[in-house]
Amino acid sequence: MNPLSEPFLSLIIPAHNEEERLPGTLDQVFDFLIRQDYLSEVLVIENGSHDRTFQVVQEFAARLGDGAVERMGKSYPPLRLFQVSARGKGLAVQRGMLEARGAYRFMCDADLSMPIDQVNRFLPPALPNCDITIASREAPGARRFNEPAYRHFVGRLFNLLIRLLALPNLQDTQCGFKCFQAKAADDLFPRMSITGWSFDVEILFIARKRGYQIQEIAIPWYYNPFSHISVVRDSLRMGLDILQIRLNNLRGKYDRAL
């Protein structure tokens, strides 16, 4: 690829059973990106769905390719669609990060619980050069909307466990919006071993070990009642994953050459 045509931003959307939400999300994403003055691309990684997630993205891509959707007389960024047959959000994000071509690679939940217009706050020139930038619902200035109190309470307990055992001083590792410079993504994601919801704890743990800078940015966040997360089941799974990260570290897994 010609360096002059390489995207500045790759937006990576993992998608499991998202046929209802994805068309609206993609409308918002492309409406935002076409108004920016940098090159971008969108990668959707369909991940073990049992609905028409893959097909609705194909249909959306066809609309863009046929010129059926026109805005502002500008060409739309490319939409690239991949399938990962095995379930696991970590697998989907890993595939997207390693397929992406952008200088900055931004993982974005399909529900857009963080408004898409916040993305530029994670990028230069708004933010000076930073290896990894993570959205935070707990940093000073963050705002949560409509979240049930019990969900917030469980989330804070889990974060306490993360801070005690894996990532001191990071207040919110589980928000689904994170930005990686290309060099960090290419180094970190091949080292990942946890494929479920806790993959980002492992990625950030490895990043700290390898000396990457991590910054939290306070965001507005809107609770989605149709989340795929099960509070009890997934919290237990995440707790076991953190213990696995500690064990991997003790065994030197993260210190080995690829």
CATH class of 3-148+174-193+214-225: alpha beta
Q: Letter for the amino acid at 241?
A: D
Q: What are 194-217's pLDDT values in tens digits?
A: 998 899 999 999 999 999 999 999
- Which pLDDT value is given to residue 64? 85
- In total, the chain counts a number of residues equal to 258
Burial of 85 (C-beta count, 10 Å sphere; 0-12/13-18/19+): exposed
Q: DSSP class of residue 46?
A: E
- Which pLDDT value is given to residue 72? 53
Confidence of residue 229 (pLDDT cuts 50, 70, 90): low
Within 8 A by CB and 6+ apart from 96, the residues are 10, 12, 13, 14, 43, 45, 82, 105, 107
Residue 150 tokens, joined: 């019990």
Residue 95 reports pLDDT greater than 50: yes
- Which pLDDT value is given to residue 234? 67
- Which pLDDT value is given to residue 1? 47
Q: What are 61-84's pLDDT values in tens digits?
A: 998 876 555 555 677 899 999 999
Determine how many CB atoms are found less than 10 A away from the CB of residue 138.
17
Torsion angle of alpha carbons 167, 169, 175, 180, nearest 10°? Answer: -70
- Which pLDDT value is given to residue 91? 96
Q: DSSP class of residue 76?
A: P
pLDDT-above-90 percentage for the chain? 72
Q: Letter for the amino acid at 248?
A: N
Confidence of residue 232 (pLDDT cuts 50, 70, 90): low
Within 8 A by CB and 6+ apart from 165, the residues are 242, 243, 245, 246
Instruction: Give the predicted TM-score (pTM) of the model.
Output: 0.91
Angle 80-130-13 (CA atoms, 0-180°, nearest 5)? 25
pLDDT-above-70 percentage for the chain? 91
Residue 94 reports pLDDT greater than 50: yes
| Nearest Cα residue to 192 out of 89, 122, 104, 84 | 89
Q: What is the mean pLDDT of residues 251-256?
A: 91
| Nearest Cα residue to 79 out of 90, 65, 68, 67 | 65
| Choice between 191 and 232, residue whose per-residue pLDDT is larger | 191
Measured CA to CA, the distance from residue 119 to residue 177 in angstroms comes to 9
Q: What is the mean pLDDT of residues 42-55?
A: 96
Ranges of each domain in the chain: 3-148+174-193+214-225
Q: What is the mean pLDDT of residues 239-258?
A: 91
Q: What are 170-181's pLDDT values in tens digits?
A: 999 989 999 999
